[in-house]
A and B are shown apart, each in its own frame.
Chain A
Amino acid sequence: MMDDIKDCWKLDIAGAAKAISTKALSPVALTQMMLDRIGRIDPHLLSYVTVLQSEALASAGQAEKEIAGGKYRGPLHGIPIAIKDIYDTKGVRTTACSKVRANYIPDQDCTVVRKFREAGAVILGKVTTHEFAFGFDSHPTRNAWNLDHIPSGSSGGSGAAIAAGLCFAATGSDTGGSIRAPAAANGIAGIKPTYGRVSKSGVAVLSWSLDHAGPMARTVRDLAILLGIMAGQDPLDPHTKDVPVPDYTAALTGDIRGIRLGIPTNYFSEDVGPVVAEAVAAAIKKMESLGATIVPVTISDLEGVLDCMLAIAMSEASTYHQASLRATPELFGDETRLLLEAGELMLATTYINAQRARVAVKAAFKQALRDVDALVTPTQPTTALKIGQTTSRIGLREESVFAVSARFCAPFNVSGLPAASVPCGFSPEMMPIGLQIVGKPFDEATVLRIADAFERSTEWHQKYPSIAS
């Protein structure tokens, strides 16, 4: 426990919860400290869309009263968190960072927010997203490590706010990398669970069949706590599956001896920036030193996977926005409008072929994971791009912001496999680098176990950007 409340933003949820449960830390003081930090730091970072000052303090007061009365709800009780602005929050504007939804005030919480409230979490406010989660720059939010760089996206507000110590955790959503890319870009942890693990009811749709909801936080243990609350079948979301939710924190043994890690020899090793390649190679060595067995694997059928993801995402997004695109097209941002217009003209046969190709991609990963427990790859081929940069060049390969951001992440939206990103180093310019760990369907426990063991053996997650201090 920190001596000064002003330093308590450095705690993780597990640490803060321990102090709250023993009444050594006041949820009201913790919430006020976070609100003060948001007021002081966020004008530079621009990660919050809406700050719920009085609601958060009232909720923290309620938590404090309950805990004092002996009713401790669990590790999220009294913990200040943020919600991505595509998750419906009752009575609170939920804009998806789009003029199309500028005045949308839901009359219900989405399932995930309801679960967080029931767990006693304090909601500080809503954080930015790339418009309707359809992109990677999350304008106007800045990267917490360098304000001249993008925080990546689409959950850029979540990533930047956590890294800068403006909340203990946040929700994210991931259609082509939107949890893992900003986690990597901001030096924090995030997990995209298996498709069907977490309810998306009340979360604005980008693509019904590719969207995943999941948590972002500073440590893997915090992800385990958050996912344990978020996960489970939901009658309001027919995509969710009736698969038992284990105690994810129990999986965090710190022991990965005997774990077999598949290291792809193709696709994920191609056109990777040298700084990223070096950090990932060192991470793999570290995991080997912890007792994991390293197994080279080749993954077939990945060529064209990004185009399949795009065909599906564009077609489904255009369907979702069909009416608004005709009624008020001028309210969409330029990039979103272009993708939605293009999606309207996608052939049905292209969409269906892309859905058929998913089956082949899923089978290829099933084969690759047959003899290993997880795959390990870079989360991104490069560190966060500069604001305004429209392309990225690695060696001879020049690609769009979308392609470079989605290249290593999107295959796991297409396959639906669980995938986490944890920090594994920094560039010489002190920009964070992410390591991606991918598991078998509904085996988030193993992904978290591996990520946690790696995190415990490194100090990357204990570094803070200067804006946070």
Chain B
Amino acid sequence: MSVEQMQAEDVERLAKLLDLRLKPGNSQTIASLLTEVRHNVLRKASALNQDAPLSIFFDAR
């Protein structure tokens, strides 16, 4: 699955929907950070067994 680069305008639009007052100048950094995290997590998750159960309460054992 490919991940499209999120844009500053996307962040601003979503923030408005969520009633978030972004600090001016943050939107581009947030867009880049979210794109990178999403890309890397998705790549990691793509190797997982799709049917493996999701553990809600983490247990280290």
Size category of the binding interface on chain B? 20 to 34
Q: Which of A340-374 contact B (CB under 8 A)?
A: 341-342, 344-347, 350, 352-360, 362
- In the complex, whether A441 has a CB less than 8 A from a CB of chain B is yes
Residues of A within 8 A of B29 (CB): 338, 342
Q: Quick check: which of A56-64, A146-154, A162-170, A301-309 contacts chain B, the rest being far away? A: A301-309
Q: Which of A319-334 contact B (CB under 8 A)?
A: 325-326, 329, 334
- In the complex, whether A461 has a CB less than 8 A from a CB of chain B is no
- In the complex, whether A114 has a CB less than 8 A from a CB of chain B is no
Number of residue pairs across A and B with beta carbons under 8 Å?
112
- A307, A415, A416: the one contacting B44 at CB < 8 Å is A307
Q: In chain A, what residue has the closest Cβ to B39?
A: A307
Quick check: A196 and B59 within 8 Å, CB to CB? yes
Quick check: A209 and B58 within 8 Å, CB to CB? yes
Quick check: B54 and A304 within 8 Å, CB to CB? no
- B19, B40, B48: the one contacting A307 at CB < 8 Å is B40
A325-B20, A342-B30, A345-B11 given; A442·B41 CB < 8 A = no
Residues of A within 8 A of B5 (CB): none
Quick check: B20 and A344 within 8 Å, CB to CB? yes
Q: How far is the CB of B59 from chain A (nearest CB, A)?
A: 7
Q: How far is the CB of A349 from chain B (nearest CB, A)?
A: 8
- In the complex, whether A337 has a CB less than 8 A from a CB of chain B is yes
- B15, B38, B59: the one contacting A347 at CB < 8 Å is B38
A195 to B61 CA separation, bound complex (whole angstroms): 9
Q: How far is the CB of B58 from chain A (nearest CB, A)?
A: 5
Q: Which of B6-57 contact A (CB under 8 A)?
A: 11, 14-15, 18-23, 26, 29-30, 33-34, 36-38, 40-45, 47-48, 52, 54-55, 57
- A194, A338, A346, A441: the one contacting B37 at CB < 8 Å is A346
Residues of B within 8 A of A362 (CB): 60
Quick check: B57 and A341 within 8 Å, CB to CB? no
Residues of B within 8 A of A307 (CB): 36-37, 40-41, 44
A305 to B54 CA separation, bound complex (whole angstroms): 17
- In the complex, whether A239 has a CB less than 8 A from a CB of chain B is yes
Q: How far is the CB of A378 from chain B (nearest CB, A)?
A: 22
A346 to B37 CA separation, bound complex (whole angstroms): 9
- In the complex, whether A123 has a CB less than 8 A from a CB of chain B is no
Residues of B within 8 A of A346 (CB): 34, 37-38
- In the complex, whether A404 has a CB less than 8 A from a CB of chain B is no
A→B interface (CB under 8 Å): 194-196, 209, 238-239, 241, 301, 303-305, 307-308, 310-311, 314, 325-326, 329, 334, 337-338, 341-342, 344-347, 350, 352-360, 362, 415-417, 441-442
**Beyond A303-B43, A305-B44, A360-B44, 10 extra complex contacts between A and B, CB < 8 Å:** A307-B44, A311-B41, A326-B21, A345-B30, A353-B41, A353-B45, A355-B54, A357-B44, A360-B47, A416-B58
Give the 6 A-B residue pairs with the shortest CB-CB distance, closest first: A416-B60, A353-B45, A307-B40, A304-B44, A441-B60, A342-B30
